[in-house]
Amino acid sequence: MTTTATPLESSVCFALYTSMQTTLQLYRELLEPWGLTYQQLMVLAVVWERDEVSPGQLAEALCLDASSVSGLVGRLERMGYLEREHRSTDRRSVRITATAHALAVRGELGHIERCVAEAMQVTPADAESVIGTLRSLRTSMREYDARAASIAS
């Protein structure tokens, strides 16, 4: 069986990659006054939603590994956005919370999501559809067994 390579512009992965790169560039420009990156903003968003989280909960919510979360939390802590507290009953258990500075900045950052939505030029219904499709794609990718597929080839 002969297969031909899919042209780059017809590749779902390339479309996802380039869309994410251009989106991240816009976030970079919008977040620059606060010295934040998109990933740092996502960490703050999870903490704002939940009031307090563990590093494991952050990793799960953001689909990141523990070392990435540790680095992000450390930078945000040094910047004055987050506090890490070790529980007195178990020093291994860490609680991450937003500082007063982070809570104040939350209001200042409220316009950024609207700016990005405007730039994307999608209707709320289209956004809902895209989000649903991307969630299904993410689930499929998580469930795919690459080792089994490579053995079968």
pLDDT the model gives residue 3: 60
Enumerate long-range contacts of 69-73, CB under 8 Å, 24 or more apart: 69/43, 72/39, 72/40, 72/43, 73/43
Instruction: Please indicate, yes or no, if residue 137 is contained in any of the structural domains.
Output: no
Distance between CA atoms of 31 and 81, rounded to whole angstroms?
14
pLDDT for 118 equals: 93
Q: Tell me the CATH number at 99.
A: 1.10.10.10
By residue range, what is the domain housing residue 64? 15-109
Percent pLDDT > 70 in the chain is: 91
Which pLDDT belongs to residue 104?
Answer: 94
Q: How many domains, in total, are found in the chain?
A: 1
